[in-house]
Structure 1
Amino acid sequence: MSSSFALSARGGKLAALAVGLCWLAVLFDGLDMFIYGSVLPHMLAEKALGITPDRAGDLGSYATFGMLVGALTAGTVADRIGRKKLMVACVTLFSLASGLCAMSGSVAVFGLGRTLAGIGLGGLLPTAISMVSDYAPRGRTALTIGMLMTAHHAGGILSAYVALWIVEPLGWRAAFWVCVAPLLFVPVLARFMPESLSFLVAKGRTEEARELAGRFEVQLPAAVERKAPADRWNSLVNLFRAGEWTQTLLYWLASFGGLLLVYGVATWLPTLMRSEGYELGSALTFVVLFNLGGIVGMLVAGRAADRFGAPRISSVWFALTAAGVFLLSVHMPLAVTFTVVFLTGVFLNSAQTMIYATVSIRSTPDNRATAVGWTSGMGRFGAVFGPWLGGQLLAAGNGDWGFTAFAIAGLSSMVFIGIAALRSSRQTPRGSTQQELIASG
Structure 2
Amino acid sequence: MMLPPTLSRSTHSSLRVVTIVVALCWLLVFFDGLDMFIYGAALPDMLVDSTLGLKPSSAGDVGSVATFGMLVGALTAGLATDRIGRKRVLLLCCALFSVASGLCAVAPDVTTFGAARLIAGLGLGGLLPTAIALVAEYAPEGRRNFLIGVLMTAHHAGGIAASTLGLWLLEDFGWRTVFFIGVIPLLVAVPLVGKFMPESLAFLVNKGRIPAAERIAQRYGLATPAAETVGDGAPRKAVLAQLFSRKRWQVTILFWLTSFAGLLLVYGVSTWLPSLMRAEGYNLGSSLAFLLVINGGGIVGMFIAGKIADRFGPVRVATIWFALTAASVYSLGAHLALAATYVLVFAAGIFLFSAQTMVYAAVAHVYPTSSRATAIGWTTGIGRFGAVFGPWMGGQLFATGNQGWGFGIFAVAAVFATGMLLVLSLLAAKSRNGSAKDAEFSNREHSLTV
Q: TM-score, normalised by structure 1?
A: 0.88
2:131 matches 1:128: yes
Residue aligned with 2:418, SS: helix
1:146 paired residue number:
149
Residue 40 of structure 1: CA displacement? 4.4
2:367 paired residue number:
363
Query: Where do residues 362-401 of structure 1 align in structure 2 (5 Å cutoff)?
Result: 362-401=366-405
Residue aligned with 1:139, SS: coil
CA 1:224/1:344 → structure 2, altered by over 3 Å: closer, same or farther?
same
1:25 paired residue number:
28
Larger displacement relative to structure 2 (250-259 or 176-185): 176-185
Residue aligned with 2:446, SS: helix
Residue aligned with 1:223, SS: coil
1:207 paired residue number:
211
Larger displacement relative to structure 2 (38-47 or 70-79): 38-47
Residue 197 of structure 1: CA displacement? 0.5
Contact residue 261 and residue 417 of structure 2 kept, 8 A: yes
Question: Which blocks of at least 5 consecutive residues in structure 2 are unaligned?
Answer: 1-8
Contact residue 63 and residue 117 of structure 1 kept, 8 A: yes
Matched to 1:406, the amino acid is F
CA 1:245/1:382 → structure 2, altered by over 3 Å: closer, same or farther?
same
Query: Where do residues 146-295 of structure 1 align in structure 2 (5 Å cutoff)?
Result: 146-184=149-187, 185-225=189-229, 234-270=238-274, 272-273=276-277, 282-295=286-299
2:115 paired residue number:
112
Deviation per residue, 1:188-237 (Å, 9 max, x gap): 1111111111110010000000011101111111211389xxx9971111
Task: Determine which of 414, 428, 446 is the counterpart of 1:438.
Answer: 446
Task: Determine which of 18, 24, 27 is the counterpart of 1:15.
Answer: 18
Aligned mates of 1:431, 1:84 — CA distance in 2:
30
CA 1:258/1:431 → structure 2, altered by over 3 Å: closer, same or farther?
closer
Task: Determine which of 82, 85, 101 is the counterpart of 1:82.
Answer: 85
Residue 146 of structure 1: CA displacement? 0.9
Matched to 2:255, the amino acid is Y
Matched to 1:161, the amino acid is T
Residue 128 of structure 1: CA displacement? 0.3
Matched to 2:266, the amino acid is V
Matched to 2:446, the amino acid is I
Contact residue 393 and residue 399 of structure 1 kept, 8 A: yes
Residue 379 of structure 1: CA displacement? 1.2
2:409 matches 1:405: yes
Aligned mates of 1:171, 1:276 — CA distance in 2:
33
Question: Which blocks of at least 5 consecutive residues in structure 1 are unaligned?
Answer: 1-5
1:3 paired residue number:
none
Aligned mates of 2:165, 2:196 — CA distance in 1:
28
Contact residue 133 and residue 364 of structure 2 kept, 8 A: yes
Deviation per residue, 1:144-180 (Å, 9 max, x gap): 1111111111112212212222223333333323222
Contact residue 57 and residue 387 of structure 1 kept, 8 A: no
2:6 paired residue number:
none
Aligned mates of 1:295, 1:98 — CA distance in 2:
26
Aligned mates of 2:271, 2:179 — CA distance in 1:
16
Q: TM-score, normalised by structure 2?
A: 0.87
Larger displacement relative to structure 2 (209-218 or 8-17): 8-17
Contact residue 268 and residue 394 of structure 2 kept, 8 A: yes
Residue 429 of structure 1: CA displacement? 7.1
Aligned mates of 1:431, 1:215 — CA distance in 2:
36
Residue 49 of structure 1: CA displacement? 4.2
Matched to 2:40, the amino acid is G
Contact residue 104 and residue 176 of structure 2 kept, 8 A: yes
Contact residue 310 and residue 440 of structure 1 kept, 8 A: no
Aligned mates of 1:149, 1:352 — CA distance in 2:
10
Residue 431 of structure 1: CA displacement? 11
CA 1:270/1:239 → structure 2, altered by over 3 Å: closer, same or farther?
same
Query: Where do residues 336-355 of structure 1 align in structure 2 (5 Å cutoff)?
Result: 336-355=340-359
Aligned mates of 2:21, 2:437 — CA distance in 1:
26
Residue 439 of structure 1: CA displacement? 4.3
Contact residue 312 and residue 444 of structure 2 kept, 8 A: no
Contact residue 255 and residue 359 of structure 2 kept, 8 A: yes
Larger displacement relative to structure 2 (142-151 or 431-440): 431-440
CA 1:173/1:333 → structure 2, altered by over 3 Å: closer, same or farther?
farther
Larger displacement relative to structure 2 (17-26 or 110-119): 110-119
CA 1:166/1:110 → structure 2, altered by over 3 Å: closer, same or farther?
same
2:4 paired residue number:
none
Residue 317 of structure 1: CA displacement? 1.1
CA 1:430/1:98 → structure 2, altered by over 3 Å: closer, same or farther?
farther
Larger displacement relative to structure 2 (186-195 or 79-88): 186-195
1:68 paired residue number:
71
2:307 paired residue number:
303
CA 1:160/1:274 → structure 2, altered by over 3 Å: closer, same or farther?
farther
Aligned mates of 2:358, 2:424 — CA distance in 1:
12
Larger radius of gyration between Structure 1 and Structure 2:
2
Larger displacement relative to structure 2 (171-180 or 237-246): 171-180
Larger displacement relative to structure 2 (57-66 or 365-374): 57-66
Aligned mates of 1:244, 1:128 — CA distance in 2:
23
Contact residue 38 and residue 284 of structure 1 kept, 8 A: no
CA 1:165/1:284 → structure 2, altered by over 3 Å: closer, same or farther?
farther
CA 1:400/1:118 → structure 2, altered by over 3 Å: closer, same or farther?
farther
Residue 438 of structure 1: CA displacement? 2.6
Residue aligned with 1:240, SS: coil
Residue 41 of structure 1: CA displacement? 5.6
Residue 139 of structure 1: CA displacement? 2.2
Residue aligned with 1:11, SS: helix
Equivalent pairs counted in the alignment come to 432
Residue 55 of structure 1: CA displacement? 4.4
Aligned mates of 1:55, 1:402 — CA distance in 2:
24
Aligned mates of 2:441, 2:325 — CA distance in 1:
31
CA 1:326/1:62 → structure 2, altered by over 3 Å: closer, same or farther?
farther
